[in-house]
Structure 1
Amino acid sequence: MKFKEFLTENGVNLLEMRFLPALDKMGKICHLYLNRDHVIFLHNLLNGDGVQSIAQFHKEALFDDYRISSQNEDCIVFAVDVSLLHRALRSS
């Protein structure tokens, strides 16, 4: 599996100022689902306790030069600590 991208300034601001603070208040872990056209943040869907949220972005809303490849029809899913991602974006 391979994933390469460059976040746009607008993408950083969108995530840092609007979405990640809200997701961070709901819980620590978020799952990212990446495919050829979209980036989807899935929060609290697997354990079913509390508020669940889904945020779907078209790749151009966040990234320049977005490339993805995998043996699973170019889809990649992984868990990320929301507070660490938020801290990384603030330091960029």
Structure 2
Amino acid sequence: MKHARPPAELSLKGGPAVRAEAWRQWRRLFEVFLKVSGVSKKPKEIQASLLVNLIGWAGYEVFTTFTFKEGESIDDINCAKRI
């Protein structure tokens, strides 16, 4: 849909509880965006790349520190959203 708006960059201001809640809210908005934009029908690699692209620089810096279990990948949207 051409009217779908992506979420604003993830804000990482505040303490751990505030940042955790900001992530939960951002993730929910991102999931809505995936649905209304039609991206949810695209391959998981595209969805994961979009998450990394939209999360913003601060979120990206945190995201790149995560490790994944064997068989998991940053390119799998289900793994990326679970964090």
Under a length normalisation based on structure 1, what TM-score does the superposition of the two structures give? 0.31
Structure of higher RCO (CA pairs closer than 8 Å, 6+ residues apart): 1
TM-score (norm 2): 0.33
Structure showing the higher helix proportion among its residues: 2
